[in-house]
């Protein structure tokens, strides 16, 4: 079964600073990968998803970008953070051998606070 | 577009008793999956149970079961013999032809000893 790692676990950044959050996956190859954001006490919003290396789809226009430089690595970035970027960021994985509707598995998440 | 609605922001249950969390959804698709995820204070999302829409039989996982009413577009979660460790936020989610998960707003479950 797959294991999803996210780094860092917690991050406090000043407004205007850059951001890089990393997600790595073990135990599966060529997974579909997803970035979600969760505001406090709210549901999850899909930000980006990727079906393969270099293939990124954006769901919501925003201050963030994503990249997939390796098969099992998914990175969320920003050049200049905004206060509204604060939240809890979750990476998810869906193994490729299963259908589109199959279960997504989540990493432990990163808490981002922009001050 | 598909939507998922959880109308109960908060619920509470006495330890060892049964509680039901509600979820409704809207879709024009006929083939889809539905999920319940649990988010404890650690905030990691944990899969509780899933239901394939083409299956008439309700899914069951130990103390967790669902009541799937396809015509009514309803997907409730029943937790039997509630335990203190069940306290968490519960999210209902939908996955259709796009493969993207659409989440409800969540229900916070409190378990009283």
Answer whether B35 sits within 8 Å of A103, measured CB to CB. yes
Give the per-residue pLDDT at A103. 87
Distance from A100 to chain B by nearest Cα, in Å? 4
pLDDT tens digit sequence for B37-52 = 999 998 999 999 999 9
Answer whether B100 sits within 8 Å of A59, measured CB to CB. yes
Phi, psi of A29 (to 5 degrees): -120, 150
- 3-class secondary structure for chain A? CCEEEEECCEEEECCCCCEEEEEEEECCCCCEEEEEEECCCCCEEEEEEEEECCEEEECCCCCCEEEEEECCEEEEEECCCCHHHCEEEEEEEECCCCCCCCCCEECCCEEEEEC
Give the per-residue pLDDT at A97. 67
> By mean pLDDT, which of A16-30, A56-70, B4-18 is the weakest?
A56-70
**A86 has pLDDT over 80:** yes
Give the per-residue pLDDT at A98. 65
pLDDT tens digit sequence for B62-85 = 999 999 999 999 999 999 999 999
Query: What integer is the mean pLDDT of A22-39?
Result: 93
């Amino acid at each position: 079964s797959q294991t999803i790692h996210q780094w860092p676990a917690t991050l406090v950044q000043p407004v205007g600073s850059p951001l890089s959050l990393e997600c790595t996956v073990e135990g599966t190859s060529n997974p579909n990968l997803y970035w979600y954001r969760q505001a406090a006490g709210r549901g999850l919003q899909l930000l980006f998803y990727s079906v393969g290396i270099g293939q990124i789809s954006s769901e919501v226009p925003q201050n963030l970008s994503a990249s997939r430089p390796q098969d099992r690595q998914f990175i969320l970035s920003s050049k200049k953070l905004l206060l509204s970027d604060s939240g809890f960021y979750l990476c998810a994985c869906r193994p490729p051998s299963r259908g589109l509707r199959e279960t997504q598995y989540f990493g432990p998440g990163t808490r981002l606070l922009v001050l | 577009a598909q939507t998922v609605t959880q109308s109960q922001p908060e619920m509470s249950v006495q330890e060892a008793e049964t509680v039901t969390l509600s979820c409704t959804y809207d879709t024009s698709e006929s083939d889809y999956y539905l999920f319940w995820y649990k988010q404890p204070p650690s905030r990691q999302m944990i899969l509780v149970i899933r239901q394939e829409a083409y299956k008439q039989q309700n899914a069951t996982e130990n103390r967790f079961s669902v009541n799937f009413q396809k015509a009514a577009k309803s997907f409730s979660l029943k937790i039997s013999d509630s335990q203190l460790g069940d306290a968490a936020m519960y999210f209902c989610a939908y996955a259709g032809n796009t493969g993207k998960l659409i989440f409800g707003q969540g229900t916070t479950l409190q378990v009283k000893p």
